[in-house]
Chains A and B, each alone.
Chain A
Amino acid sequence: MNPDHSDYVGATAFPPAPGLGGGPPAETVLSVKDLTVTFPSDDGPVQAVRGVSYDLHAGEVLGIVGESGSGKSVSSMAVMGLLPKTARTAGSVLFRGRELLGLSEKEMTGVRGRQIAMIFQDPMTSLNPVYKIGWQLAEAVLAHHDVTKAVARKRALELLEIVGIPSPDKRIDQYPHEFSGGMRQRVVIAIAMANDPDVIIADEPTTALDVTVQAQVLEALRAAQQETGAAMVLITHDLGVVAGQADRVLVMYAGKPVEIGPIDGIYYHPRMPYTVGLLGSLPRLDQRSQEKLTPIPGTPPSVVNLPPGCPFAPRCPLRTDICLQSEPALLPALGADHEAACHHSDQLTGEGAMDIFSTDPNAVPGERPDAEAGPPPAGPGTEPGPPPAGPGTEPGADPQNGAAQ
């Protein structure tokens, strides 16, 4: 919204945001409170999101993790106001103190791309097939800046370079079908950073990509975030992706957050059996154990007519009567910044997935560790990563493309 383009062009040299971890608490840019989204359906209303709250601080990366249909994508689309008209949204979405829910389509156009940008899952279909890459990039720039086409094009070139497109001066005049999937996703990332947004929402940015290019795209994403200094919401079902990128993690289940906390806390001290289960289904490189991965038994519940109680209870080895009666609230579990929604989170100190899930009578028979016949547990990755395996490995219990995507 800044007509002065000399200032604007210079904006690419925006100083990288100070990484989190130290320093004073940063300003809250995006604050989501009690967000609910309901879709009408033939079988009654579908509560895709049942009350999501989180604060996103400037420059931080928040990972939202969950299975398909857990509402993680829908909640972000609601933030952008991109849900179909049939969706009913309630709650509050504050961007720098300004309420976004209920804004008109016209008012939202000023927010989208400029203040909050979004990256979608499938790069193969995200770009318009009939326009050149450069045109689509420049269009994004021109949408929010009163600059000449030549300036917009120059900016497009710059952006392509930042996201790692080789020979951008040639690539800029090509069409999307001349780009591979990974390259297209970089273009989408470049579009997202075109206007120096304060928040970038990346909705499963690597899911549709080949394992070999996922790391490169994540690299580009990281570059984009550092370049713009934007805070980022990284939605994924891949705990490996989150581990390498996020500062904090929000775990969602059946339309609700079940655990939120700093990355280390979530990975080393999970306080919700579902999180424990997710971590247990990941192959690990740092532990050369002969154990098999531990799957979570059962499937996620349907979000139409959820029964009372904790939605995870039917799959939970720790469930007791209270779990079937009342749904636990998100409460501080391990310090003020680590919250979990579980009646039994105090029992989960130091327990691993093996300890709690394998004793479960529902566990699939034959899943006990078998040193002789079992395949080596190590994942396919080669890079020595932070706690779990690098990008590309998926939790075993996650079917792709749920209904609510």
Chain B
Amino acid sequence: MADNLPERDVNDEPVEPEVPPGGRGAEFLGVQGQQPGLTIDAVTPGGEDILQGGTEPPDREFAVEARNQWQLVFRRFRQHKLAVASLVVLFLVILFATVGPVVWKYGPNDFTNDFSVGPSLSHPFGTDSNGADHMAQVMAGTQLSLKIAFTVAIAGTFFGSIYGAFSGFYRGITDTLMMRLVDLVLTIPALAVGALLGKKFGNNWALLAVVLAGLLWTGSARVVRGQVLSVREKEYIEAARALGATDRRIIFRHIIPNVAGPIIVLFTLLVATAVLTETALSYLGFGVQFPDISLGSLVTAGETAATGGRGWLFYFPGLFIILIALTVNFIGDGLRDALDPTQTKARA
């Protein structure tokens, strides 16, 4: 039996395991992944909506496709009840932090004669031992913590995505060197280096945000690199290359828009990470420094108060940290589901 079977089949090269280079997310591209990409300008319909600025309007036909794609995402997002509720809550928290201080009768440094009173109508979150209104303090702390978190997320995702996109696009030795650097950064605990540098830069919230972004960009870089590795094998990239598009054009006009989905998800998750890292540093005294107020530094102040029976000074700032991190995480989860229903992987 075995004799009359040709050997040919046996000598075939052992086939690689069926794991795409980017790992997951190839299906993520959904509709646009199947576009043959015959014209360079209109190849990436899914991305056009995000990178609207500066790009000429795509072909009419593709524009229709694009809107459908994002309408679909929106419809799927709405099905994630927790994510929608989280969006509302986060919006309220942002209102509380931005409009609140303008409307509320006390500022964080206004001292009243009510020393250490518990929550009441005139002081919903109570007051501290100096008579300062705690709700005003939490408003100010939430505002600064949010400001830092969003700055970190924007800067970190931006840098990490570009870094990862270049690394995955050029592959070879460039990729190896760039990813070794990422590995190197990953060997160092972000919290520890954040403490070291935060001690120096903490008095300027923007600098602190830049330092944190410098420590938290690696996640985006890794994921985007993986995405790019798989996207770059797609036919429409080949088509663009065949038409003589430059590397830069391919990266910015074709690859980045097509990995936009995971980048959006990474962004939301980084907001949560940034809030938790900043407040932790501020709690240790190496983050936001007096006279600025962060939710973390409020917890430091409330720590001793809580054991002395004035728990409100401890619970409220913590509650707001949880609110921000939890809603942002749920929104990120909803976005992930909406952008790719087939992807069940955990966060990167």
Contacts and interface: CB of A to CB of B under 8 A. Distances in A.
B9 A180 contact: yes
Contacts of B121: none
A129 B17 contact: yes
Contacts, number: 46
B2 A212 contact: no
Given A166-B7, A216-B5, A180 B17 contact: no
A219 B18 contact: no
Contacts of A183: 9-10, 12
Contacts of A213: 8-9
A212 B8 contact: yes
B188 interface: no
A177 interface: yes
Q: Chain A: interface residue count, which band?
A: 20 to 34
Contact of B9 (A124, A125, A129, A216): A216
Contacts of B2: 161, 164-166
A162 B5 CA distance: 11
Which of A125, A166, A177, A183 is packed against the most chain B CB atoms within 10 Å?
A166
Interface of A: 124-125, 129, 161-162, 164-166, 177-183, 212-213, 216, 219-220, 223
A206 to B, nearest CB: 13
Contact of B14 (A161, A177, A182, A219): A177
A183 B8 CA distance: 11
A166 B17 CA distance: 22
Main secondary structure of the interface of B (DSSP, over half): loop
B1 interface: yes
Given A124-B18, A177-B17, A219 B5 contact: yes
5 contacts: A162-B1, A179-B14, A179-B15, A180-B10, A220-B5
Contacts of B1: 161-162, 164, 223
B15 A166 contact: no
What 8 A-B pairs are tightest by C-beta distance, nearest first?
A180-B12, A182-B9, A164-B5, A178-B14, A164-B2, A213-B9, A166-B10, A216-B5
B54 interface: no
Interface residues of B, number: 15
Contacts of A181: 12, 15
Contacts of A164: 1-2, 5
Contacts of B8: 212-213
Contacts of A161: 1-2
Interface string B12-32: 111111100000000000000
Contacts of A178: 14
A214 to B, nearest CB: 11
A166 B14 CA distance: 15
Given A129-B17, A164-B2, A216-B6, 20 more contacts: A161-B1, A162-B1, A164-B1, A166-B2, A166-B5, A177-B16, A177-B17, A180-B9, A180-B12, A181-B12, A181-B15, A182-B9, A182-B12, A183-B9, A183-B10, A212-B8, A213-B9, A216-B9, A220-B5, A223-B1
A182 B13 CA distance: 12
B242 to A, nearest CB: 27
Given A162-B1, A164-B1, A223-B1, A124 B6 contact: no
